[in-house]
Structure 1
Amino acid sequence: MQTLRIKPPSSAEDGGPEQDPGRGLFPLLAGAAVAVAAVGAILALSDSGSPLRGPFTLFFLLAAPATAVGAALRGLQPWPRTVVSMAGAISIDLLVAQGMLAVHRWSVTGGLLAVTVISSLVLLLVLVRRQRRRTARRRA
């Protein structure tokens, strides 16, 4: 019978690889995405004439629901989670637009607020569900 041994991670002092420099890049990119989405929402709600209004608002309309749906799908692997959350974001946007057009109440501000409220509610439900699970584990 052969015994398998796991090598301990080497450190930079031993001549091994240094820590991954891209490790701290994800929080930076997430913060930049939140900033761009917030600017997009503010530009759209203030009816600004800025040329960045369109792309930043589109980014917000995709990022806000995708983040909420992605938080609900925590158990999936990263690639399927990304694909499903983007599909969910597009679905939420289209359903909001279709609903507003059906009742003849279409407006950019109203659509943006509706997507924001739906995304916030989904994210709030996910956070409440996680809190209940933690409380149930502590009681057991």
Structure 2
Amino acid sequence: MERWSDQPSSNGRLRVSRSHGDPVVLALAGELDTATLLSAARPLAMVLAERPPPHAVVVDLTELRFLAVAGARMLHAAVDYAAGKTAVRIALGPNQMVARVFAVTGLAAMLDTYPDRTTALQAGRRDQFVQWAQQLWHS
């Protein structure tokens, strides 16, 4: 059974929940903007700094009501930092405003995005894809 920890931001507009396992799920609920950015960035940075690092982190945005461009940029920076160590998957959810921020900024094409948490969790590991590609190449 997964364990979860839950931490509201200092201004109460963002709640960050974290699962303990691999992959790690970091679920954000509420508003991610310049005022709440550090409340999301700190736990994400802590997860990415773990040793050994998790093979994947799913950042679940399905319960966000608002996403500022600053929040999307922070997620992009986290993906860049994790490159080669941890796959960062973004679950966008049903909020069209969140999807629009990713589309307008171009991040939807650059980041590993999924429609929901379940799909992001079921995505294969990078090394599994490489093994599959090698099998196809050598068959």
Question: Normalised by the size of structure 2, how large is the TM-score?
Answer: 0.26
Kindly indicate which of the two structures has a greater share of residues assigned to strand: 2
Larger Rg: 1
Kindly indicate which of the two structures has a greater share of residues assigned to helix: 1
